[in-house]
A and B are shown apart, each in its own frame.
Chain A
Amino acid sequence: MKFEEKLKKRQYSQLWQEYCGFLDLDIDSYMNIQNRLMQEQISLWSKCELGRKMLAGKQPPKTIEEFREMVPLTTYGDYADFLLQKKGDMLPDEPVIWIQTTWECGKHPIKVAPYTSSMLDTYRNNIIACLILCTSTEKGKFNARETDKFLYALAPLPYATGLMPLALNEEISIEFLPPVKDAMQMTFSERNKKGFKMGLKKGIDIFFGLGSVAYYVSLSVSTLGKGSSGKSSLMSISPKILTRFLIAKYLCKKENRDLKPKDLFKLKGFMCAGTDNRCYKDDLEELWGVRPMELFAGTEPSIIGTETWTRNGMYFFPDACFYEFIPEAEMLRTFEEEGYKPATYLMNEVIPGQKYELVISVLKGGAFVRYRVGDVYECVGLESREEGTRIPRFIYIDRIPTIIDIAGFTRISEHSIQNVIELSGLPIENWVAVKEYRQNRPLMHIYVEMKEGQILNTAVSREILKEHLTIYFKYVDSDYQDLKKILGMDPLEITILKCGTFSFYEKSTSKKLRRINPQPYDVMELLKIDKKDFKLMGRRG
């Protein structure tokens, strides 16, 4: 029986139990599911070509402990040979669909991840759990119905986000705005415009988007009714929304504010995904009157976690991936020492207040094992009295420090910045890039030191540098281009440091600064040195 039929039969409590029952698990039962499914995955993986190659002739591991001992942590590069050529028959199970995303800007154009049939089954169940939870106001109570209208500000297939409407539509005939088939042919802004236009006609019950995108899209509501094009679009608004619109217009004028989406739509559920959501959540709540529920999904791990009705931290689904956690200190050490093998901990070993880098092994015949997804989470509690849960709860922090992700769009590494600098031909001697926040919005701050000998014969003002580098960033990374195009963001900030600052820093601290996201105190130290007259000091010394 499909979800929709069960809904029609009003089996609400059974539905809650079926899809959200994992929230009632205690940690032992949770681990039992994890361990059992991992055991299955190990046996599938050990038998396939990929597994055999990774084991390099060793006997297949029999237990999970043996597996963790034998198999090193992996990154996409370990799979590239198999996956980029889509060698499905060499994987633990035959994939039914390949999902695509950007690998590393400027270096590798794309990466693909295989999804097996049973992975998709799990995905479908878990996405329904998200749907139920996003409309819930307390435990066991939810308001998802088959007649709901779903505004969807995410990319279509072959991107992971495109799976969601397809999977949902297999179980429930929710109407997506715009319809999935049409959306695939449209550009991002066309999709948003069309979605809203349909929303005005039919109403919007559920909204799902990247936090940043949702915010941008929401702002466009305020332009409704302004200008001539707005007038014509007003004609197609449903009478109910038109009444709301007119009342809201009146109130806005009275309160002297812009029109907000909450004036027009009464959302049942609001979901957001991606990075930097915490920068947007408050604003989104203000705009829509509903706090977005954050969920975590990625190309490689599929959908792995969701918040609940409290919007107060995420829980990982027990059946999507097998989770391991690298503590922050261990993670940082891997950036400093090449070849260092960090310790990993399991879900029943995490400690509240600790930040962890996530390592996943995709279950149900997935290809990735002990895979460093590149995301950092913080454990915020092992149980919650409010939600009645007894499993660890996490919040999403950011990408790992060696990657700068702005608003869920870019994936900028040291290599990509170096590439841009080289292409730009600017006489930059040394640099560090730091992700910073200004007015609660993320930006990339690059501190540069110019080549001493060339400053005289090149124009290198801060603006020139910024313009120059922005152009090259856009050139090598289409995602970066989208930041401007879609969100209207210009996230680059340049600070020029005095010549010799870096070398003095290295000399005085006797350590080399990490180029991407160095520790905040190290950056402060660098800036302090910049302010000092170190050359003089150097001579004296």
Chain B
Amino acid sequence: MGSFAFISIIALLCYVFLLLALLAAKKNTIVNAFLLILAALILWTGGSFCMRMQLWPGLKIWYDVSILGLTLLAYAFYFFVSRFADLKKTPAGKFWLAVIIIINIINVATGYFLAAPKPEISDEGEVIFVYQYTWAIIILFGACALIILHMLYNLFRYYKNNTLAKGQFMPILIGIIVLFAGNIGIMLPFFTGFPTDILAGIINALFMFYALYKRKLFQLKLVISRGTCYVVTAGLSFVIFYYMISPLEKLITEKFSLSSRNTILVIVVIFTLFALILYYALKRFLDKIFIRDEIMQAESLKNFSLNASKSLDVSEILKEITNVIQKSISVRKIFICIADKKNSKFEVLHSTNPLENKKYNINVENPLIAELEKNNECLMMKDFRRTTEYKSMWEAEKKQLQELGIECAVPLMDDSGMMGIVFLCEKEKKAGFTYNDIVFLNSVKSIGSIAVKNSRLFEQAYMEARTDDLTGLLNRKYFYEILQQEFENNTGGCLSLIILNLDDFKLYNQLYGIKEGDNALRKVARIVKASVGASGHVARYSGKEFAIILPKYDLLSSKNLAEIIRKQIMNMNRRESDYTFKMLTVSGGISSIPYSASTVKELIENADMAIYKVKHSGKNAVMVHVGRNPNPEERTATRSESKETIYLEYEQTIGALTAAIDTKDHYTFKHSRNVAYYATELAYGYGMDEDFIEIVRESALLHDVGKIGIPEQILNKEDKLSDEEFSTVKGHVENSIGIIRNLPSLDYVIPAVIGHHERYDGNGYPRKIAGNDIPLSARILCVADAFDAMTTKRPYKAPLSVGESLQRLQEDAGLQFDPELVPIFVGLVNQGVIKICED
């Protein structure tokens, strides 16, 4: 091959160049596999070149090296393809490697497969190498061929399952084909003496390199690539100079007939220019091909900016910040501290190490904060230590920064001041922060600041819209939203609701002042929240009511939880060294789907109901709403005795009020009693529990109490009422509420009283609500009220018969009356369960 030796040298240089370039790159398994190919190629080409040149230490050794390279190349290809296709590691790989090693060991020791060639002088006087082939060579090349076949099989399998990868693998396939072609070419007479195999090796390596580049697997330091450029330029120039100098000299002296002195000058100029061009060409090649640090940084900044702008979640953004920094700067640890709500300290919200103790916080008065705020740029601790501000650092603060190993602080700021700080610890291998790092950090700072600001604003707005200012619990609006959500999420499962109502809170406020009252609310909120934890949602349901939504809680566990909370609240103020004993108790009502309610509305109503029950039975207790009784008759038996005990307290108030009505308007007094009778019977018939029935009874007795305020002449007017008079009469509903509202212990009758003139079709008064929006108690009252009004005599009308009245009720079912209640009522009257009151 004589004069073509330069091809081997160029091939070697190419491989070494790629090897050097890749050694500087960030390693991964694919790059490592490619390095193995390069190493094999270098061994093969280098070994064979040195052998042909018969260099020291001897032909045999170089021959063995080249055979090792050749056989290793097969394995390297196999390994590379497995890694590139990301195939599972199988024992086959290790097996092939073992085969290669064993073959080589045997061959080195005995020359069994293919012995080293012997140099002979050919007829033309050139040195040729004669090989002694035996059948054993089949084992050597056969093994290699098997490995390559296995590789091709792998490639084919991957190719089949992964059409997207076709483009990626194309260069590798072409490279392999070229390599084969080159090795076949060596046998063709046309290429005699020309090392087509080596040339093919170069082309193959370049194709593979291209494949890696396409997969963006490189990240290279510019400095090292420049060094590589120098080395390769020098090597290539030397080789070319060595081979080209004599032909060039010949050319110049013969064609241009220059003197030998001038010839040297021209050659020197030509080669200087050549070397320069070569250098720049290589440099450009490197610049183009390798993704350099800066580009990587720019890329990651771009991605970071994109990701950060997509998210409104602070913790996600903080994660993005640490990710982008760690990708570009190899720091051991990063902490991000964010200002707390009061802006009094910065707390560690995120750290690269999840196991890190996050209890550190940095006081807002720390001089470090002032320094960061003043300069609004990345601050190196070693610089900070030299400032006058550092003089005012407390020893504990200095120690804290030292313990955390913080070397650099990056402020996150907006127009109103510092929002947070990113702390970077020591870089790996104790490398210092470079100028580039600082520039990069300042870019991260700018993007990060905006992202954190936006997400914090969003979070704040989100929280404000959903939480109660005073207690920090969910507000009523959000409570309904969550309850609905949980209801939908728990179809088929259970969902409990606890409502806690502070007892006599108005009195508490009056005794200790509103400020103390607010404190108590905060404390209660804390207790409830701590007790519920992550198993439910806590809301401030109304001024003095707290609601707890408990998904997957049944009645028993809800009751236990409610009891625990109740006891805690009762003992809440006990420890205070106050002169007065600020006892505060709570009444709790529990309702649960599916046990005692089936809709959200029912759930809330029933929990409310349970509270009324507690309030009646002496407060400071928790009660569970059990639901409608399917057998009303059974209830009746248990009802009266409990009624006596529970409602005795209120009976007197109601008695006093009804007595007042009696004095003013005897009819109304009687009417109220009748309505109470009809309504309670209807409620029993409908299957309501005793507490509900009691509320209905009391509501009925008081439903017209507002008539006290209506002049008698209007009440007893025989003629048709004028519009004005009619609106006065209509006003009795509000009057009733006005009176009842002053009796806090009876406020539970308000829903029934206020709604008893509402019509089912929505044309009633005063609120014009319709259908099931009208409380059940009011709908019951409405039927009972109308029935009594129809069957009794009034100055302006004669009484209707029972039949007629029932007829009217049925006609207006769905218009004025609840269509579900009317048939029950009619049925009860017809069955004689409801007796008609005497006029």
Interface residues of A (CB under 8 A from B): 1, 14, 17-18, 21-22, 24-25, 29, 32-33, 36-37, 40, 118, 318-319, 364-365
Q: In the complex, A29→B389 CA distance in Å?
A: 9
Which residues of chain A have C-beta atoms less than 8 A from B367's C-beta?
36
Q: Is the CB of A21 within 8 A of B392?
A: no
A319 with B386, Cβ < 8 A, contacts A36-B365, A40-B396 known: no
B485 contacts the other chain (CB 8 A):
no
B interface, over-half SS: helix
Q: In the complex, A317→B63 CA distance in Å?
A: 79
Q: In the complex, A14→B380 CA distance in Å?
A: 14
Q: In the complex, A54→B636 CA distance in Å?
A: 77
Q: A14 — nearest CB in chain B belongs to which residue?
A: B386
Which residues of chain B have C-beta atoms less than 8 A from A17's C-beta?
386-388
Q: Is the CB of A118 within 8 A of B395?
A: yes
Which residues of chain A have C-beta atoms less than 8 A from B365's C-beta?
36
**In whole Å, how far is A367's beta carbon from the nearest beta carbon of chain B?**
16
- Mark interface residues in B386-407 (1 if CB within 8 Å of A CB, else 0): 1110011011100000000000
Which residues of chain B have C-beta atoms less than 8 A from A33's C-beta?
388, 391-392
**In whole Å, how far is B387's beta carbon from the nearest beta carbon of chain A?**
7
Q: Is the CB of A318 within 8 A of B395?
A: no
Q: Is the CB of B392 within 8 A of A36?
A: yes
Which residues of chain B have C-beta atoms less than 8 A from A24's C-beta?
388
Q: Is the CB of B394 within 8 A of A40?
A: yes
Task: Taking A18-B387, A33-B388, A318-B392 as given, write out 20 further A-B residue pairs in contact, using a Cβ cutoff of 8 Å, ordered by the A residue number.
Answer: A14-B386, A17-B386, A17-B387, A17-B388, A18-B386, A22-B391, A24-B388, A32-B392, A33-B391, A33-B392, A36-B365, A36-B367, A36-B392, A37-B391, A37-B392, A37-B394, A40-B394, A318-B391, A364-B395, A365-B395
Q: In the complex, A29→B396 CA distance in Å?
A: 21
Q: Is the CB of A22 within 8 A of B388?
A: yes
**In whole Å, how far is A126's beta carbon from the nearest beta carbon of chain B?**
10
- Mark interface residues in B345-375 (1 if CB within 8 Å of A CB, else 0): 0000000000000000000010100000000
Q: B388 — nearest CB in chain A belongs to which residue?
A: A21
Q: In the complex, A381→B395 CA distance in Å?
A: 32
A interface, over-half SS: helix
Q: In the complex, A118→B391 CA distance in Å?
A: 11
Q: A20 — nearest CB in chain B belongs to which residue?
A: B388
Q: A365 — nearest CB in chain B belongs to which residue?
A: B395
Residue among B382, B386, B391 having the largest count of chain A Cβ atoms under 10 Å:
B391
Which residues of chain B have C-beta atoms less than 8 A from A319's C-beta?
391-392
Q: In the complex, A319→B391 CA distance in Å?
A: 6
Q: In the complex, A24→B396 CA distance in Å?
A: 26
- Mark interface residues in B162-196 (1 if CB within 8 Å of A CB, else 0): 00000000000000000000000000000000000
Q: Is the CB of B394 within 8 A of A36?
A: yes
Q: A40 — nearest CB in chain B belongs to which residue?
A: B394
27 contacts between A and B (CB under 8 A): A1-B382, A14-B386, A17-B387, A17-B388, A18-B386, A18-B387, A21-B387, A21-B388, A22-B388, A24-B388, A29-B388, A32-B392, A33-B388, A33-B392, A36-B365, A36-B367, A36-B392, A36-B394, A37-B394, A40-B394, A40-B395, A40-B396, A318-B391, A318-B392, A319-B391, A319-B392, A365-B395
**In whole Å, how far is A349's beta carbon from the nearest beta carbon of chain B?**
19
Q: In the complex, A33→B388 CA distance in Å?
A: 9
Q: A35 — nearest CB in chain B belongs to which residue?
A: B392
Which residues of chain A have C-beta atoms less than 8 A from B387's C-beta?
17-18, 21
Residue among B382, B387, B394 having the largest count of chain A Cβ atoms under 10 Å:
B394
**In whole Å, how far is B786's beta carbon from the nearest beta carbon of chain A?**
71
Q: In the complex, A29→B392 CA distance in Å?
A: 10
Residue among A24, A29, A32, A36 having the largest count of chain B Cβ atoms under 10 Å:
A36
* CB neighbors of A among B611-632 (8 A): none
**In whole Å, how far is A384's beta carbon from the nearest beta carbon of chain B?**
18
Q: In the complex, A118→B392 CA distance in Å?
A: 12
Which residues of chain B have C-beta atoms less than 8 A from A29's C-beta?
388
**In whole Å, how far is B397's beta carbon from the nearest beta carbon of chain A?**
9
**In whole Å, how far is B741's beta carbon from the nearest beta carbon of chain A?**
48
**In whole Å, how far is A266's beta carbon from the nearest beta carbon of chain B?**
31
**In whole Å, how far is B386's beta carbon from the nearest beta carbon of chain A?**
4
Q: A23 — nearest CB in chain B belongs to which residue?
A: B388
Which residues of chain B have C-beta atoms less than 8 A from A118's C-beta?
395
Which residues of chain B have C-beta atoms less than 8 A from A1's C-beta?
382
**In whole Å, how far is A381's beta carbon from the nearest beta carbon of chain B?**
21
Q: B386 — nearest CB in chain A belongs to which residue?
A: A18
Which residues of chain A have C-beta atoms less than 8 A from B394's C-beta?
36-37, 40
Q: In the complex, A365→B382 CA distance in Å?
A: 24
**In whole Å, how far is B15's beta carbon from the nearest beta carbon of chain A?**
44
Which residues of chain A have C-beta atoms less than 8 A from B391's C-beta?
22, 33, 37, 318-319
**In whole Å, how far is B401's beta carbon from the nearest beta carbon of chain A?**
14
Q: In the complex, A25→B391 CA distance in Å?
A: 12
Q: B399 — nearest CB in chain A belongs to which residue?
A: A118
Q: A24 — nearest CB in chain B belongs to which residue?
A: B388
Q: In the complex, A318→B393 CA distance in Å?
A: 12
Q: In the complex, A17→B388 CA distance in Å?
A: 8
Q: A29 — nearest CB in chain B belongs to which residue?
A: B388
**In whole Å, how far is A212's beta carbon from the nearest beta carbon of chain B?**
33
Which residues of chain B have C-beta atoms less than 8 A from A32's C-beta?
392
**In whole Å, how far is B416's beta carbon from the nearest beta carbon of chain A?**
21
Q: In the complex, A365→B387 CA distance in Å?
A: 22
**In whole Å, how far is A57's beta carbon from the nearest beta carbon of chain B?**
18
**In whole Å, how far is A24's beta carbon from the nearest beta carbon of chain B?**
7
Q: In the complex, A16→B391 CA distance in Å?
A: 15
Q: B370 — nearest CB in chain A belongs to which residue?
A: A32
Q: B383 — nearest CB in chain A belongs to which residue?
A: A14
Q: In the complex, A54→B387 CA distance in Å?
A: 35
Q: In the complex, A118→B387 CA distance in Å?
A: 17
**In whole Å, how far is A302's beta carbon from the nearest beta carbon of chain B?**
15
**In whole Å, how far is A537's beta carbon from the nearest beta carbon of chain B?**
64
9 closest cross-chain pairs (CB), A and B: A18-B386, A33-B392, A21-B388, A40-B394, A319-B391, A36-B392, A118-B395, A33-B391, A22-B388
**In whole Å, how far is B392's beta carbon from the nearest beta carbon of chain A?**
4
Q: In the complex, A364→B391 CA distance in Å?
A: 11
Which residues of chain B have C-beta atoms less than 8 A from A21's C-beta?
387-388
Q: In the complex, A40→B398 CA distance in Å?
A: 12
Q: A317 — nearest CB in chain B belongs to which residue?
A: B391
Q: In the complex, A14→B386 CA distance in Å?
A: 8
**In whole Å, how far is A313's beta carbon from the nearest beta carbon of chain B?**
20
Q: Is the CB of A25 within 8 A of B388?
A: yes
**In whole Å, how far is B430's beta carbon from the nearest beta carbon of chain A?**
14
**In whole Å, how far is B509's beta carbon from the nearest beta carbon of chain A?**
31
Q: B396 — nearest CB in chain A belongs to which residue?
A: A40
Which residues of chain B have C-beta atoms less than 8 A from A40's C-beta?
394-396
Q: B387 — nearest CB in chain A belongs to which residue?
A: A21
Q: B391 — nearest CB in chain A belongs to which residue?
A: A319
Which residues of chain A have C-beta atoms less than 8 A from B388's C-beta?
17, 21-22, 24-25, 29, 33
Q: In the complex, A364→B388 CA distance in Å?
A: 16
**In whole Å, how far is A472's beta carbon from the nearest beta carbon of chain B?**
48
Which residues of chain B have C-beta atoms less than 8 A from A365's C-beta?
395
**In whole Å, how far is B735's beta carbon from the nearest beta carbon of chain A?**
58
Q: In the complex, A346→B683 CA distance in Å?
A: 81
Which residues of chain B have C-beta atoms less than 8 A from A22's C-beta?
388, 391
Q: In the complex, A189→B781 CA distance in Å?
A: 115
Q: In the complex, A17→B386 CA distance in Å?
A: 7
Residue among B382, B386, B396 having the largest count of chain A Cβ atoms under 10 Å:
B386
Q: In the complex, A22→B394 CA distance in Å?
A: 17
Q: In the complex, A246→B15 CA distance in Å?
A: 76
Q: In the complex, A1→B392 CA distance in Å?
A: 20
Q: In the complex, A29→B367 CA distance in Å?
A: 11
Q: A122 — nearest CB in chain B belongs to which residue?
A: B391
**In whole Å, how far is B343's beta carbon from the nearest beta carbon of chain A?**
18
Which residues of chain B have C-beta atoms less than 8 A from A25's C-beta?
388
Q: In the complex, A24→B387 CA distance in Å?
A: 11
**In whole Å, how far is B383's beta carbon from the nearest beta carbon of chain A?**
9
Q: In the complex, A18→B395 CA distance in Å?
A: 18
Q: In the complex, A318→B387 CA distance in Å?
A: 13
**In whole Å, how far is B414's beta carbon from the nearest beta carbon of chain A?**
24
Q: In the complex, A147→B282 CA distance in Å?
A: 51
